[in-house]
Structures are given as structure tokens and as C-alpha cells.
Chain A
Amino acid sequence: MESKTMQPTPVQTERENLRRVRFTRPALWVQLVLLACLIAGPLVVPSFRAMDVMTKVMIFAVVAASYDLILGYTGILSLAHVTFFGIGAYSMALVVFHSGQAAWYHIPVAMALAVGISGILAVALAFFSLRVKAIFFTMMSLALAEFVFILGDQWHDLTMGEDGVSFSLPGIFSVNWSDGTFLGAALNGRLMTYYFILVASVLLFIGLVRFVRSPVGRVLKSVRDNEQRSTALGYKTFHYKVLSNVFGSVVASLAGVLFAMWLGYVNPTSVLGIPVMLNVLLMVIIGGMGTLYGSIMGAAFIQVAEAWLPDLQKLAMLLLPGVEMAQRLAERWILYFGILFILVVIFFPKGIVGTARDVIARRKLRLAQRDHQTGL
């Protein structure tokens, strides 16, 4: 009893260390510069396309980070993550669409709805499939994803089927709203939505980071690394897995609300389809599993690639006119995603941030060794 109060636990020491270097770490400056770029972006570059890409990067960074919480920190491979994202997007769209006129309170209602539905669904999924084997979860989640997709595609009365739902946002987020200029940029609904999404996704991301660094996050990592040992230490690993799964899914559904707000339109293929799921998976793997910040890199890579790939296709068609096979190959961009997928998994399994961290750690070690030697 006495020793407990006297000695700080390892967790406390690590936290104390983190707190001490909080304002001097280089990572902090990277984060601040990134945030400044995102804030100043639309004011400096008034192109809609750039703003579109930046917004999608922010939203998908949150989706990928919440997926990383489940995949990289808990070690569960879910294929239904985008399903929760889609549930969020659809709850935003349907709340506005079915109530006719958009009102400001629709946004919190949609968020509450998204959190509720996806939370219940995530708990149900976890309870059914996490009891047995991790791989069961993968299969069950794939089945769930397909089921929700079919629901979105065929429940025509509710979701308008594959035609999708388009809706307008209330008040200052409406496309029609505009109020002069601010710092040289047109102050309109788009800009307001952009900043709303910026604030919301930064908050969600911080929430994920705090979750991972909390005591619960530590237990999750221990479950991932050695489940039997964590069980032996007295942790109910099943509960922790369910918790992480539910938290990740809820964050993804909130990101889905943001995505629907940005597009003003949802349809099954754009928010529920398996290709979207593969994109998110690829983002996490490219960025680096179990790093959270990697998902920003991954999201940026994929979104930029997706935005400029059509130009590349046009270039390919210009260079090889008349070669039908080349044109057909250029059209199939998922093919290159598949190849990238395999190459990354085989040759680059730690992703961008994971590899960078390895390199930095190795250099620090080398420096420390050299100092040690010269000190002698």
C-alpha cells in the first residue's frame, strides 16, 4: 500500500516525460504547421478543387485514424468500418431530406442518430463475433457491410435506392448563403462548412489521440501484443475490444455526418461500397498501422492521387491514341490500387510514419551509442 503511494507507476513516469517535452517536440511543430495550412488554405488558394481535396483529406484522416484504433491498436480487422461511416452520412442526409426544410437542429439530431445507430450496431457485431476468434469478426463484418449496402441500395422508401439522396444544409452552411468577403475570400456557405468540418475533425482526431494515450489505450495495446498475458493480468480483454470497436465506429459515423455535409449528396456506392472500405484500409496501411498520425499521410496520399488520377488517364490516352488495350487499362484505376496494396503489404509493411519512426529511433540509438563511446 505504502509503496504504491511512494513510487510512481510506469504509466505515470511516461506521462510525466511526455508532459515535460510537450512544447519542445518537433512533432508539435509539424502538427501546428499542418493546422495553420488547413486554416489558411481556402483563404490563400481560392480554388474549389483544392478546398475539396483538403476537406476530404481531413474527413478521411479521421475515418482512417478511427480505423487505425481498431486495426492497429486493437489488432482486429473489420471490413464494416465504412458501413458506420455510411450510416453517419445517411443519417445526416435522411434527417434533412425527410423533414423537408433544413433547420439548424438537424445537424445535432443527425449526429445523435449516427452515434446511436452505429454504437448499437457495433456492440451487436462485437458481441456476436469477437467471442470466438479475431478472424470471425472479419467475416461477420464483411457480411454486415454487404447487408447494409443492400439495405441502402434497395430500401427505396427510406434511402431512395441507388439514385441517392441530395439535400441542402441549413442556415450559414447552405450553398445559397453568402455574406461579402473576408480577408479576400468570398464568405459563403462552402467556406463556413469547410471551417465547421475543420473544427469537428480536429476535435475528433484529438479525441482519438487522447483515447489511445489513456489507460484504456494502453490496455488495448497490451491486448494486441499478448492477449493471454493481459487476461492473466486480470483485464477483461473482451470488454476492452468491444469498447475500442464501438468508439472507433462511433467516430467513423460522425466523420460520415461531416462527409455528407460537405457533399450535400449521398448514395450507396460513395459511402457504403467495398471500394471505399479498401481506400480506408489502404490509407491506414500506407500511413502506418498503429501510428494514428499515419492516417493523415495515407488520407492525403489517396485523396490527392484520386483527384489527379483522371488527368493522368487523359495523358495516357493522349500519349497512346488508338491503342484500345491501353485505354482500357488506363480506365481501370482500381487495378493499380490492388497492385499498390500488395506491394505496400509485402515491401512497406510499417507504412510512412512507422518507417520514419523506426529511422528516427535508430539514429537516436546510434547517436546515444556514439556519445557513450566518446564519453568513455
Chain B
Amino acid sequence: MTTQTATAGLQEQGGTDFKKVGVWIASVGIWFLPLLWIDPTTYAVLTVAGLAMGMLIFLTASGLTLIFGLMDVLNLAHGAFFVWGAYVGFSLLNALQQVGWVEGAGAAQSIGSVLLCLLAALVVGGLMGIVLEKMLVRLTYGSHLKQILITMGASLILVEILKVVWSPNDEVVMVPAAFQGSWDIMDVIITKFRVVAIVVGLVVLGGIQLVMMRTKLGIIVRAGVENKEVVETLGYNIRRVFTGVFCAGAALAAVGGTMWSIFKEQIHPAMGEENLIFALIVVIIGGMGSVTGSFLGAIMVGLAFNYVAYTLPPLALGANIMIMAVILLIRPTGLMGKE
């Protein structure tokens, strides 16, 4: 077993770039396979839906993977941030409806109300992240078991408080007028909000990559993922970076929740847990700690979910677990994982 890993390590050192290109080609190519049994028009519709779903899952998964990569914390409260974001967005949309910015609103007003919702979710999620990190997660650095238990307990509490504040039942979310309906491009029906979801996902991906690759903060975070002690000896307060990353991850999850609620047009308290499963699968597929990997993984999961849901509805989640199992068999650390 040890010799196997040693040889694998040697190979990786030799041809990392080649292997990465191979991974990219394989993971792009395989998505044209469903064309064999799905006709092109439906395939296009499903692909847009899958891309949108993948982008939204990426919002949750990116925070999860960053928190794991930097802080070595598996944050099971991530689903709670997600669902709080969804409910905050839902309430704000209801409030904006009174002003007439939702139903029967113009394009500018619709965009404005969605942006307001995202901002509110960002603030609420970020604050919750800071509080949770400073109060609880900080006590448990170094012990995976305690982290998992504490974040799980926190998740229970947050979701139950949510049920007290709002209600334990399903609610219908109103969609701003400009994003209702769909476009018809050569028989391919594209729901408008799916495009918005794809745009938001790309913007977030771009933003994260920009911060991580071009700013000093990004360099510190990336260095922290590699080696925390060295970053500390260079005089940076890694604790503050931890809080910042946790806050950002929570805020991203909350934004994901708001987007998801408008995307699905309904919300319920268990949606955080359901989405956490997707995010976990994505993080495992992509390799823990890698933003690019989780982006790839999210797109894969979104596409596979839609193709399979069209062909064999009950097996949709099962297909994702199968993908995860296959990828783990080939690359135990995920697509872009290290070690």
C-alpha cells in the first residue's frame, strides 16, 4: 500500500500538467454522452438547467471547500447559513412587494430587488459566520470530531430558530417580474432566472479567483492552505484570516440560499440540509480545498442531476453518488486535490 502511494506521488510530480489537462478533457467530453438518448433540443434545455444548478451549488461548495482547505474544519453548519439566506431573501422580497418592486416591476426594479436580497443575505450570513466562528468553532481547532459535533449542533439550533421565527412549512417565493418566464431560442426554452444564476455563479467564481490570485489577502489564504505555521511566523494573524474566510464562506452560502429560493420559487427549512449534501459531494469530487475543483465538481453534479432526473427521476441523487464513487476510485483525493 505504501509503495503504491509512493509511486503515485512520483508520477504526479512528473506529469501534473498533463494529468490536469487530461482531467479537464475527460470531464468536458463525457457531458456530450447523453446526446445518444436525449434529443438535442431537450439536451440544450437540460444543459442550461444543469449549468444554472451547478453554479448555485458552487456558491455553497466554494465556501465549504475554502473553510476546509484553510482551517481544516468540516463545517456542517453550512446548510444552516444557506437556509437562513433563503429565508432572509424571501422576507425581503415580501417586503419589497409592498413597494411594488417584485410583481409588475420594471427591469431596473427587478434587478434592484434581487441585488438587495443578495446583499441582505450576504450581511446576515457573514454576521452569523463571524459569531459562530468566534463563539464555537474557535474552541475546537485541531479536533475533527468536536468540530463536526459542534457545527452540527449549531446547525440544529439555527434551523430550529428559523422554524420559530418563520414557520416549519413550505413557502412560495415571489420572483421579480423581469426574471419571470422564459426565452425561446430555436425551440430551446431558457428560463430567464437560470441565465441570471449562471451569470451570478460566473461573477462569484471570477471574484474568488481575482481575490485569491491577485490580492495580498489571497496570497495569505493560499499560503495558509499550504502551511499555516509559516504564515504565522511571517507575522500575519492567521486567526483573523480564519474568521474572515469563515465569514466569507457563510456569506457565500447565504447568497447561494437566496439565489436557490428564487430559482426554485419555494423554500422549506430542510433545504439547507439537502443542499449541504450536494455541496459535500461537490467538495469531495473537486478535492478538498480547491476552488477550481469545486467549480468543476459543481458543474458536473448539476449537469448529471438534470440529465438523470430527465431519464430516471428517482435515481438523480444516486447518479451523483456514483460519480463521486468512480472519481474517488480513480483519484482518491478528488479532481484537483493535493497529497
Contacts and interface: CB of A to CB of B under 8 A. Distances in A.
A150 B74 contact: no
Contact of A147 (B146, B273, B318, B333): B318
B153 A341 contact: yes
Interface in B69-100: 74
Interface string B102-118: 00000000000000000
A334 B160 contact: yes
Nearest to A142: B280
Given A136-B284, A155-B314, A345-B150, A332 B328 contact: no
A186 interface: no
Interface residues of B, number: 38
B277 A142 contact: yes
Interface in A109-159: 128-129, 131-132, 134-136, 138-140, 142-144, 146-147, 150-151, 154-155
A335 B157 contact: yes
A325 interface: yes
Given A128-B325, A143-B324, A325-B164, A342 B150 contact: yes
Contacts of B150: 341-342, 345-346
B328 A128 contact: yes
A132 B74 contact: no
Nearest to B158: A338
A328 interface: yes
Interface majority SS (helix, strand, loop, mixed), chain A? helix
A195 interface: no
Interface residues of A, number: 41
Contact of A338 (B145, B153, B321): B153
Nearest to B149: A345
B152 interface: yes
A332 B273 contact: no
B281 A128 contact: no
Q: Which of A147, A328, A341, A342 has the most CB of B within 10 A?
A: A342
A315 interface: no
A150 B273 CA distance: 13
Given A129-B328, A346-B139, A332 B160 contact: yes
Interface of B: 1, 74, 136, 139-140, 144-146, 148-150, 152-157, 160-161, 163-164, 273-274, 277, 280-281, 283-284, 314, 317-318, 321, 324-325, 328-329, 332-333
Given A132-B333, A332-B160, 13 more contacts: A132-B332, A138-B74, A140-B284, A140-B324, A140-B328, A143-B277, A150-B318, A278-B156, A338-B155, A339-B157, A341-B149, A341-B153, A342-B150
